[in-house]
Amino acid sequence: MAELTSPEEIRLELMSFEAVSAALARGYSTVLIPCGAVEQHGPHLPLCMDADHAEALAAKLARLFGSALIAPTIKVGCSAHHLVFPGTISLRPETFEAICLDYCTSLARHGFRRILLFSGHIGNFPVLRDMLPRLRRAVPPNVEIDAFCDAIAWIDRWRSAVGDAGGDPDAVGGHADIAETSLMMWLRPDSVRLDRFEAGYRGALSEEQLQSMWRNGIKSITHNGIIGDPHGSTAEIGAQCLEAIADLLVTSFGR
């Protein structure tokens, strides 16, 4: 069976209902749900960073799985801690969960038997982890739902990928840093303002700092919205980071 590869063959919103039905009949019973955010990423990156990242990961994962389709990206996520910066749009956790629930029940109804959620925005991870048992209860027992929620493993992979590509792993902080900036230099280079690079908070965040960020917003940690440092970013580092996270997700979900 020849694999489907083009966006028109694997992205649900570009397919006809007949094409989706035919793909399901051919064994394409896995569907990916990429999640993102529309939120500030320092003075040098666009607000679409996390959504762009999720979409690029979905394309990688679909090829790696070989028999998966891609649902429309849930572009807006849970970004309340970024709302102090203009342009950020944030869903309430219950709104985000309701959207994910409706995606999952709709897709299960049509015959998808494996539904995998992942997010280019690490801030969605705690909400995905919390909702996962409820999503699983909402679909028939023969439907598997899983979500990736391990922020520590994600950041560790970024640090390794940045180092392997010749960058400074200590510049990885998780937000508008060398990893995310390099990713956008790879995915959407014209959107990166090279003249606006600034270092943000550098170093590991303590549990107390993390809790402060969730309660009081990211400005309680960093004045410019950056955690890490974008200096030294390159498209080559971005490509390495994309591959590293795609590999992490495939390993976590299992083929």
Residues 6+ apart with CB under 8 A from 22: none
- Look at residue 1 and tell me whether its pLDDT is greater than 60: no
Averaged over 62-84, what is the pLDDT? Answer: 96
Mean pLDDT of the region 1-5: 61
Query: Does residue 6 have a pLDDT over 90?
Result: no
User: In the chain, pLDDT over 70 holds for what percent of residues?
Assistant: 97
Q: What is the mean pLDDT of residues 178-205?
A: 96
Q: Among 79-93, 128-142, 183-197, 213-227, which stretch is predicted with the lowest mean pLDDT?
A: 213-227
1 domain-assigned: no
d(CA 31, CA 235): 29
What's the domain count of the chain?
2
Predicted confidence band at 68 (pLDDT cuts at 50, 70, 90)? very high
Output the pLDDT for position 5: 64
Same domain, 156 and 146: no
161 and 100 both lie in a single domain: no
What does the alpha-carbon distance between residue 223 and residue 220 come to, in Å, rounded to a whole number? Answer: 7
Question: For residue 163, what pLDDT is reported?
Answer: 98
Q: The domain spanning residue 125 has which CATH number? A: 3.40.50.10310
Query: What integer pLDDT is reported at residue 2 of this predicted model?
Result: 58
pLDDT digits (tens, 9 = 90+) for 7-64: 678 999 999 999 999 999 999 999 999 999 999 999 999 999 999 999 999 999 999 9
> Is 90 exceeded by the pLDDT of residue 121?
yes
Residue 247 counted as domain residue: no
First to last CA, the chain: 17
Q: Are residues 49 and 144 in the same domain?
A: yes
Q: Which of 134, 150, 166 is the last residue before a domain boundary? A: 150
Question: How many other CB atoms are found less than 10 A from the CB of residue 18?
Answer: 8
Quote the mean pLDDT of the chain: 95
Residues of the chain with pLDDT > 90, as a percent, come to 90
54 lies in which domain range? 7-150
Q: Which of 97, 115, 150 is the last residue of a domain?
A: 150
Residue 254, in any domain of the structure = no
174 plus 78 within the same structural domain: no
pLDDT at 44: 98
| pLDDT given for residue 24 in this prediction | 97
Q: Check pLDDT > 90 for residue 3.
A: no
Residues whose CB falls within 8 Å of the CB of residue 98, separated by 6 or more in sequence, listed in order: none
User: Does 145 lie in the same domain as 34?
Assistant: yes
